[in-house]
Amino acid sequence: MMSPEILLRKHKLRNTGCRKDILKLFQQEKAALAHCDIEKRLSHHYDRVTIYRTLNTFLESGLIHKVLDHSGATKYALCGHECSDIKHRHEHVHFQCKQCHTTECLERLEIPAICLPEGYQAQEVNLLIEGLCPECRKKP
């Protein structure tokens, strides 16, 4: 895995403490993170606005993408290495576990092409599968 410093440089972003810490957090977590999770888990304290701005910068530059699930909060997850500010493509399946409530990216599972009725134009496609994650399935 690329270090946060190298990832930031690759996306032409200046290296700041907050950016580095948030990026590191995303790399450590398998699950998608909401703003409040990020705030709670950061080892240093940053104010809400700084975190909010950092997330927006990351969204724009192809480092993270939004993940929609049933939690009501917007969650974010790390993009694959092929994403950039010009090309942001991640039409992959997201999986939410009903037991532990984590949502993860199933990057390798692409959403199948869907033919819309005439006149409609798709701009974003989201597919969420709900069920039990491997960890929770193991529990009795």
- The residues that touch Zn ion, with contacts defined as CB under 5 A, are 62, 65, 77, 79, 83, 88, 90, 97, 99-100, 105, 133, 136
**Cβ(29)–Cβ(23) under 8 Å?**
no
Minimum CB–partner distance for residue 49 and Zn ion (Å): 24
DSSP 3-state assignment of 106? strand
Backbone angles phi, psi at 33, to 5 degrees: -120, 135
Give the shortest CB-83-to-Zn ion separation in angstroms: 3
* Integer-rounded Cα radius of gyration of the chain: 16
Cα-flanking dihedrals φ and ψ of residue 48, to 5°?
Answer: -55, -40
Give 28 or 43: the residue with its C-beta nearer to Zn ion: 28
The residue (of 6 and 111) whose beta carbon lies closer to Zn ion is: 111
Secondary structure class of 31 (helix, strand, coil): strand
- For residue 90, give both structure tokens: 């991640």
Question: Least separation, in Å, of the C-beta of 17 and Zn ion?
Answer: 24
Q: Which of 29, 42, 6 is nearest to 78 (CA)?
A: 29
Minimum distance from residue 39 beta carbon to Zn ion (Å):
21
Q: Which is nearer to Zn ion, 4 or 46 (CB)?
A: 4
Of 55 and 133, the one with the shorter C-beta distance to Zn ion is: 133
